[in-house]
């Protein structure tokens, strides 16, 4: 079965030869990382089984956040880190979509537009929720940027996970929202549109947006998603899912890539076949700028307001669950790697490291034979 890395290795050189002068540095870096992932280019270890004399090569992963192989375990670690933020209330998923008329500008000015997208949507949501007709207090929200549709087209949107209620201005009362309703989406869309327009004007980019964009309705969706733990599990895949997983790639044949996706409205499984060049283009348009933070916290959930979140938990009689700090999670992952026992693929007995493989080069490596690929989902 073909993988994203195989497609990049086979067709990436020709793609770069044709478009490298117009490609973003972040796109080139992601291609190099994925092509080299779990190959001799990044080094690794050689394992040996004393029971059956089997030798196994385990190469290091690239750890790039856009690599489908390197994001498999991240969701569970993130869920553990979020335990301390949970409230015993209903939760809502509020989704803001960037209109098609702004997407060309977003492609060209990714960091600026994405940052403004976060600020405008979060400010609009908090402002409307503070209205006494809705919540009437300070809410908390956690947002995650996603840029793709299921068939890899460019469709920037932000999902916000929001507890159903807010803290009153006096800091002494929790103002619960309706269990099935948080805010009205029509005025929220208008408020979001106005804040985006003001931000683009301040940045000197307003003239690069078609005037019709400011006369159309902007799409915002708000729906109930259950209680806290359920809501976190619902959102986790949005945070760590890359644009395309390897299991969705059906075949690579005659210079074309066939992959599956599900329709958003019907849930039906569909098959799409595009040229390898178009496939690479679609994937790369979802690569985020280097260092860009795609998960952000606002209001009660903002890092500087965690003391107020503790007030809310006390008001609701909730006991904060211990969460892992970033340092702890990194240490745990490192410890797991050190203690991880690799089992022999032939006889199932523990294997021992007999040699370390030094990285061979910084350039993308040649494809590794399937027989030499590691069976484990994470590398040492």
The full DSSP string for 309-320 is HHHHHHHTTPPP
Residue 267 lies in a domain: no
Residue 377 lies in a domain: no
Percent of the chain with pLDDT over 90: 70
Residue 112 lies in a domain: yes
Q: What are 139-193's pLDDT values in tens digits?
A: 999 999 999 999 999 999 999 999 999 999 999 999 999 989 999 999 999 999 9
Q: What are 72-122's pLDDT values in tens digits?
A: 666 777 888 888 888 999 999 999 999 999 999 999 999 999 999 999 999
CA 366 and chain centroid, separation = 28
Task: Report residue 292: phi and psi, to 5°.
Answer: -70, 135
Mean confidence (pLDDT) of the chain: 87
- The pLDDT assigned to 378 comes to 30
* Residue that has been written with the tokens 């595009």 in this structure: 274
Sort residue 16 into left (φ over 0), alpha (ψ -120 to 50) or beta.
Answer: alpha
What is the Cα–Cα distance from 140 to 161, expressed in whole angstroms? 9
Token pair for residue 135?
């919540």
121 and 217 belong to one structural domain: yes
Could you tell me which residues come within 8 angstroms of residue 244 by beta carbon, excluding any fewer than 6 positions away? 4, 68, 152, 259, 283
The DSSP symbol for 51 reads T
In sequence order, the β-bridge partners of residue 174 are 167
113 and 185 belong to one structural domain: yes
Residue 99 three-state SS: coil
Q: Give the residue-averaged pLDDT of 312-325.
A: 67
147 and 46 belong to one structural domain: no
Please state the domain count of the chain: 2
Residue 38 lies in a domain: yes
* Residue that has been written with the tokens 């195989």 in this structure: 6
Residue 302: C-alpha distances to residues 18, 156, 188, 232 (Å): 44, 23, 21, 17
Range of the domain at 93: 83-243+286-322
302 and 213 belong to one structural domain: yes
- Output the pTM of the full model: 0.83
What is the Cα–Cα distance from 165 to 183, expressed in whole angstroms? 11
Residue 22 lies in a domain: yes
């Amino acid at each position: 079965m073909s993988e994203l890395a195989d497609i990049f290795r086979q067709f990436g050189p020709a793609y770069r030869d044709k478009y490298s002068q117009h490609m973003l540095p972040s796109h080139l870096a992601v291609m190099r990382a994925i092509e080299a992932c779990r190959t001799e280019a990044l080094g690794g270890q050689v394992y040996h089984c004393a029971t059956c004399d089997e030798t196994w090569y385990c190469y290091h992963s690239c750890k790039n956040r856009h690599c489908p192989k390197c994001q498999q375990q991240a969701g569970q670690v993130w869920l553990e880190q979020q335990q301390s933020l949970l409230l015993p209330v209903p939760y809502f998923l509020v989704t803001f979509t960037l209109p098609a008329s702004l997407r060309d500008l977003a492609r060209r000015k990714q960091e600026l537009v994405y940052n403004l997208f976060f600020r405008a949507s979060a400010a609009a949501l908090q402002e409307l929720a503070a209205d006494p007709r809705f919540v009437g207090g300070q809410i908390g929200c956690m947002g995650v940027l996603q840029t793709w549709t299921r068939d890899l087209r460019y469709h920037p949107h932000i999902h916000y996970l929001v507890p159903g209620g807010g803290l009153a201005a006096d800091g002494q009362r929790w103002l619960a929202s309706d269990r099935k309703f948080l805010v009205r989406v029509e005025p929220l869309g208008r408020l979001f549109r106005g804040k985006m327009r003001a931000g683009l004007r301040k940045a000197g980019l307003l003239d690069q947006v078609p005037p019709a964009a400011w006369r159309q309705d902007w799409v915002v969706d708000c729906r109930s998603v259950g209680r806290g733990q359920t809501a976190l599990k619902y959102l986790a895949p949005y945070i760590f899912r890359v644009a395309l997983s390897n299991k969705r790639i059906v075949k690579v044949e005659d210079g074309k890539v066939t992959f599956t996706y599900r329709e958003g409205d019907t849930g039906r499984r569909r098959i799409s076949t595009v040229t390898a060049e178009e496939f690479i283009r679609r994937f790369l348009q979802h690569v985020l700028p280097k260092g860009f933070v795609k998960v952000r916290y606002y209001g009660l959930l903002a890092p500087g307001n965690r003391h107020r979140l503790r007030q809310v938990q006390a008001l609701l009689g909730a006991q904060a669950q211990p969460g892992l700090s970033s340092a702890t999670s990194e240490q745990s992952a490192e410890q797991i790697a050190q203690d991880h026992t690799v089992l022999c693929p032939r006889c199932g007995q523990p294997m021992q490291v007999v040699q370390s493989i030094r990285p061979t080069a910084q350039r993308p490596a040649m494809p590794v034979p399937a027989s030499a690929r590691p069976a484990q989902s994470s590398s040492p």
